[in-house]
Structure 1
């Protein structure tokens, strides 16, 4: 870092300010977890109080809640939603991308009996709309029946699973629908919880990571040391975990700051629309939404918008600094 700052004196303050703001954001999230909830209790005698009011430095909202406390709790909500969502999306995208890039359409082979029985189990799940607990029991039964059928020569014949094509189809289908529209549709239909929003964002945002990892895995698969590992008879899972995974993590790590910024923006958008999070959870989006109830209270719009803008720009500056 010192070398880069010495070579780029005109850009010295940009990464430092970005790191300083992100450190303050993390500190605010930690402090908010230690503050009592009474700070957000309504105070109708001080509703829509302007900034610099005694005991309310940044003003209050239409319900009399302190804006500074709401910003601190909003920072905590933004990090609690964005960071786990990024972890889930990165894990899913890396796993699917590695599987598609390494196994392709020919390397993963299973007996015909298992493919037929498991396929019938999922077909019954789709047609009869059984619960997930019954699906698990059905899959166990299908595997047991498949093991018995493998004793026959016809059913023991191994066939290649087109894993790459299946993952590519799922990626294309999920990417064909605008992500914001898909998230809003699902979030409006389920019960609003913090965990539900994290899972929703994570399970609908892994496609870009999967494509990057798949392309990198297909490149690494052709390297000589991978061919040597195959010739040595190493099991596929060991090759993928110890030899391929460390070499495909660079694009995943590079996109993490942008992904965090995107998830914070999505969480703010959903909170502004009033979906995704329970009513008692405070966020920047809900604070922005309160500005519609009091158009003259400019601080309800200015302060959370500045926090969101500064966080997004800081994460992008960190990414630009990492590239150098």
Structure 2
């Protein structure tokens, strides 16, 4: 607790901080710093991320021979400032991942609740779709969809939204079916509560925790999927910067200018590390059985 502000000691955030170990706290601080850097990209970036200067191409980061003042992480093959492109790329990558994860949550949540409260036929249809999604590697599905429909931002968000919806559907289906058999639900029915009131008052508050945990855990997978698609050239097209596309383009310059690949690759690694660690942390905090040990 010594590293945490005193004002937060008695708050929920302070309790959350106190429950973690050093790695989890590091992930929280690093994740917050990366999120702030992405939000403040227009203020932090010193150059236009698409502005080219062939005279300044392939300049190393500051501290190395040949570096140009102002270009803290060096420049890429077209003389564009690497720090600016990393910040804007991080911003776009996180935005796409958040929009895709939210869309997947909405789709999977709706189908999961429907499967939990509807009859056996609807449940069977939805769970067949869930099993099909799990059986087919989604990267292949994403490659096919982007090849057919193009790689615009709208299509990209839709593709990312279809990644992982089956996890939400399975979780919510199981939770809803379990809750509908609980005594307090039967008591609410006996008291004359409508199905909508039961869903909003009794069911929804009891499924928020596992859904939030699943959202956090799946977010890192969506970030990696977006980076993979951009690396293969099927994501957002140049000159717009995304971290995966920067790694894909920079791999040809690895022998002479490794910083072009290392900077965005380390950002991808840091983001996925933070999200995954925080997801595990949330899961431990939300699971009563784990807290009781």
Taking the TM superposition and a 5 Å limit, the aligned residue runs for 1:144-293 are 162-293=121-252
Q: Distance in 2 between matches of 1:168 and 1:320?
A: 26
In terms of mean alpha carbon deviation, does 38-47 or 230-239 score higher?
230-239
Q: How far did 1:239 drift?
A: 2.4
TM-score, structure 1 as length reference: 0.76
After TM superposition, the structure 1 stretch with the greater mean CA deviation from structure 2, 199-208 or 59-68, is 199-208
Of 8, 31, 43 in structure 2, the residue corresponding to residue 22 of structure 1 is: 31
Identify which range, 92-101 or 287-296, moves more after superposition: 287-296
C-alpha contact (below 8 Å) 1:58/1:67 kept by paired residues: yes
What does residue 120 of structure 1 align with? none
Aligned alpha-carbon RMSD (Å): 2.1
Q: How does 1:77-96 map to 2 (within 5 A)?
A: 77-96=92-111
Secondary structure of the structure 1 residue equivalent to 2:27? helix
Q: Distance between the aligned counterparts of 1:264 and 1:25, measured in 2?
A: 14
Match of 2:72 in 1: 57
Tell me which structure has the larger Cα radius of gyration: 1
SS at match of 2:77: coil
Bigger relative contact order (CA 8 A; separation at least 6): 1
Q: What is the DSSP-based 3-state SS (H/G/I as helix, E as strand, rest coil) of the residue aligned with 2:48? A: helix
Deviation at 1:242, TM superposition (A): 2.7
Q: How does 1:1-12 map to 2 (within 5 A)?
A: 2=14, 11=21
- Cα distance in 2 for partners of 1:225, 1:286 equals 52
- Aligned: 1:42 with 2:52: yes
CA shift for structure 1 position 71: 0.7
What is the deviation of 1:7?
Answer: 7.3
Q: CA deviation at 1:36?
A: 8.2
**CA distance, structure 2, for counterparts of residue 6 and residue 73 of structure 1:** 33
Separation (CA, whole Å) in 1 of partners of 2:140 and 2:241: 23
Measured in 2, the distance between the counterparts of 1:39 and 1:203 equals 30
The CA distance in 1 between the partners of 2:230 and 2:92, in whole Å, is 11
Alpha-carbon separation, structure 2, partners of 1:310 and 1:285 = 13
Deviation, structure 1 residue 180:
1.0
**What is the TM-score when the length of structure 2 is the normalising length?**
0.83
List gaps (5 residues or longer) in structure 1: 106-161
> How far does residue 56 in structure 1 lie from its aligned partner after superposition?
1.2
1:75 counterpart = 2:90? yes
Instruction: Give, in angstroms, the shift of residue 6 of structure 1.
Output: 6.0
Change (3 A) 1:39 1:173: closer
Q: Are 1:194 and 1:278, in contact at CA under 8 Å, matched by a contact in 2?
A: no
CA distance in structure 2 between the partners assigned to 1:45 and 1:279 by the alignment = 21
Aligned partners of 1:192 and 1:183: how far apart in 2? Answer: 10
Q: Deviations over 1:256-282 (max 9, x none)?
A: 222111111111111100113132321
CA distance in 1, matches of 2:183, 2:36: 47
**Is there any run of 5+ residues in structure 2 with no aligned partner, and where?**
1-12, 286-293
How far did 1:225 drift? 1.8
Give the whole-Å Cα distance in 2 for the aligned partners of 1:36 and 1:247: 47
Alpha-carbon separation, structure 1, partners of 2:73 and 2:106: 39
Contact 2:251 2:261 in 1 (8 A): no
Residues 261 and 312 of structure 1 are in contact (CA less than 8 Å); yes or no, is this contact kept in structure 2? yes
Q: Secondary structure at the match of 2:133?
A: helix
Query: CA separation in 1, counterparts of 2:237 and 2:28?
Result: 31
